[in-house]
Structure 1
Amino acid sequence: MIDAVDSFVREYGILAVFAGSAAEGESVAIVGGFFAHQMLLPLWQTYVAALIGTFIGDTAYYLFGKWFADHRWVTKMRGKPGFKHAMRLAQTRPRAFVFFNRYAYGLRLLGGVCCGLAKIDWGTFLIYNVLSSIVWATLFVGIGYFFGLGAEALIGDALHEHQRVIIAVAIILAVTLLVVVVVRKVMAREKQNDA
């Protein structure tokens, strides 16, 4: 079983890091960094996959907002909690919004579309999206890689056997739980501000 998981990670891990980073992706980038530390994935390829994935994802959301402002999905987004606040930030602080948007888990798609709707010019978006992608990939792949160092110090050689799968699942669950708690608090605050 463990050999099958290792083989799957070696075969499709870089693609998974790319695809996950294009969506929301923090937990995928962290797990990718962890597996890079475990030498199942090359670190530089994991980093590049996360960097390109997050850049392409946010660029696609931006272009969708810019080119399809009247699409039914965009119209539906306009009714979501936090949309007005995100639009206000995109219009008043476009550079900061482009740079920090990808760190707002659960709101990244909405924020990218807001960048396009706010008519942030392509050059500004491109520069700040590249800079933010570099920082984001370094941060989250680095967290996973250094988490692997800490786990190895605590667990030792057993980490190279079956525990790494358990740790990867624990990382995903912990990040997901943290994100759910933070997003719920932000949404509750937005509802109070809108009321």
Structure 2
Amino acid sequence: MPAGFFGGTDVPMLDSLLSYSDSPYWLVLIVIISTFMLEDLAIIGAALLAASGKMMPELAFAATCVGMLIGDTALYLLGRLAHRWPWLAHHCRHPLIDRQVRPLQQAPWHQLALIRCMPGLRTFGYIACGVARVPGWTFTVANVISILLWAAGLFGVAFWLGQAYAEQLQAWLWWLLPVAVVLFFLGQKRLRARLEAEA
């Protein structure tokens, strides 16, 4: 057994595991996966990583856009699959999906732009795109444009704030992040309940 395997100072495996946190590829993967859960917070987080020098700004922005595109496309395909799978079609019967189907059929470009501006409701909106049979080419082009515009605006503001207030943000980040997540969930829950009541 090599010296230092237990309790020694030579622990190359541990060092390599710890070094993953500073690897740009590891950070890219984290950013992409985080967009599947909290899209807007993922954009802000990626911008702050770029502002702190952990990632190149171009790489951080590209990772958020790729993650958003993958997540949105998966939801769209889920909606399309509902036409072939009765069990899935039954579970896609939701007021927030049903109310968007007709507008998507009548004016898909306009409705897709609105969906991008509705955090917390995008999951239902992109499933509705598939249910409404929005053409794949129309969905992809409109979605890419909306992703680039939305992410660029949010990323740019967060990146600028991250550079301008780097020291203050570093000191308060671990306190602000949990508060932001809780407020985000409460806000989305309230908005969703109101829209479901209206539907």
Change (3 A) 1:149 1:100: same
Matched, 1:183 2:191: no
Per the alignment, residue 49 of structure 2 pairs with 35
Identify unmatched segments of 5+ residues in structure 1: none
Which amino acid is the alignment partner of residue 155 of structure 1? Q
Aligned counterpart for 1:170 among listed residues 164, 176, 187: 176
Structure 1 position 134, deviation (Å): 0.6
Distance in 1 (alpha carbons) for counterparts of 2:174 and 2:102: 38
Q: What is the root-mean-square deviation of aligned Cα atoms in Å?
A: 2.7
Matches within 5 A, 1:100-139: 100-139=114-153
Distance in 2 (alpha carbons) for counterparts of 1:100 and 1:172: 28
Q: TM-score, normalised by structure 1?
A: 0.78
3-state SS of 1:104 partner: coil
Distance in 2 (alpha carbons) for counterparts of 1:13 and 1:100: 30
Structure 1 position 19, deviation (Å): 1.6
Identify unmatched segments of 5+ residues in structure 2: 1-16
Structure 1 segments (4+ residues) deviating >4 Å: 4-7
Whether the 8 Å contact between 1:35 and 1:41 is mirrored in structure 2 is yes
Per the alignment, residue 112 of structure 2 pairs with 98
More contact order relative to length (CA 8 Å, sep ≥ 6):
1
Per the alignment, residue 168 of structure 2 pairs with 155
Structure 1 position 105, deviation (Å): 2.4
Change (3 A) 1:137 1:190: closer
Whether the 8 Å contact between 1:98 and 1:128 is mirrored in structure 2 is yes
Task: Please identify the structure whose Cα radius of gyration is greater.
Answer: 2
Whether the 8 Å contact between 1:6 and 1:40 is mirrored in structure 2 is no
3-state SS of 2:115 partner: helix
Change (3 A) 1:182 1:21: same
Percent of residue pairs identical: 22
